[in-house]
């Protein structure tokens, strides 16, 4: 009788583990099926914003509307100044600044960091090549669907090309910092080529 009870207990325990595994798998599938915070749609009008920004170690007021008067704007939103991935991404954008300029575009980074932190970041990681905007209120993050769902105090890593008319041309979201510059340059080349026709 003791053996039957032990066998039943072991079987019951195995069924509980299997049920937990099935439920965990279902939860993962459900999480994948529910869209995460999506980017703005292509053709949708970007929200205008004005905020404190840092360029070459100096603070100034950045206005998206004013920048768009000069040409397309690449807005890249990143989680936090100075961690390795964010510094790599800033370095990549800094190195590509001449290519963006050749396409008539300007670059602005944005994060939830305070402007004092971004003043240092604008010199060190951004190499005095482009400005970074302080979004400590998360207004930019929210209006560009860039709040990280799992850690809402941070932005997701997302880049946009915004046309001079204020409409979204393209977006690219990935926590990997290495493809953002390439994707934005490809978009700008295609967009410029399409306008020349």
pLDDT of amino acid 145 = 85
- Other CB atoms within a 10 A radius of the CB of residue 34 amount to 8
C-beta separation of 77 from 174 below 8 A:
no
What is the pLDDT confidence band of residue 1, given thresholds at 50, 70 and 90?
A: low
Contacts of 81 (CB under 8 A, 6+ apart): 87, 111, 113, 117, 118, 120, 121, 125, 132
pLDDT of amino acid 73 = 97
Residues 3-45 have pLDDT tens digits of 555 555 555 544 554 444 433 333 333 333 333 445 788 899 9
Output the CA–CA distances (angstroms, integers) from residue 187 to 1, 21, 51, 133, in the order listed: 73, 43, 26, 23
CA 177 to chain centre: 9
Residues 145-183 have pLDDT tens digits of 888 788 878 887 889 999 999 999 999 988 887 889 999
Residues 57-107 have pLDDT tens digits of 999 999 999 999 999 999 998 887 876 767 788 889 999 999 999 999 999
Residue 173's DSSP bridge partners are 158
Token couple for 94: 């800094």
> What is the model's pTM?
0.77
pLDDT of amino acid 37 = 43
Residue 109's DSSP bridge partners are 76, 132
Average pLDDT over residues 102-126: 92
Burial (CB < 10 A; 0-12, 13-18, 19+), residue 33, is exposed
């Amino acid at each position: 009788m003791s053996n039957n009870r032990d066998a039943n207990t072991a079987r019951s325990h195995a069924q509980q583990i299997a049920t937990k595994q099935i439920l965990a798998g279902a939860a993962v599938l459900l999480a994948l099926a529910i869209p995460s915070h999506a980017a703005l749609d292509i053709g949708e009008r970007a929200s205008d914003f004005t905020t404190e920004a840092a360029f070459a170690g100096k603070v100034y007021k950045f206005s998206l509307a004013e920048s768009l008067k000069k040409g397309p704007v690449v807005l890249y939103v990143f989680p936090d100044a100075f961690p390795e991935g964010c510094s790599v991404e800033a370095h990549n954008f800094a190195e590509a600044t001449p290519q963006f300029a050749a396409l008539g575009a300007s670059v602005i980074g944005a994060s939830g960091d305070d402007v004092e932190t971004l003043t240092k970041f604008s010199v060190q990681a951004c190499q005095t090549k482009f400005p970074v905007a302080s979004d400590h209120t998360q207004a930019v993050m929210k209006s560009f669907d860039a709040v990280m769902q799992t850690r809402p105090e941070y932005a997701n890593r997302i880049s946009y090309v915004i046309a001079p008319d204020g409409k979204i041309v393209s977006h690219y979201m990935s926590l990997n910092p290495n493809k953002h510059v390439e994707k934005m340059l490809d978009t700008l080349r295609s967009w410029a080529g399409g306008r020349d026709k």
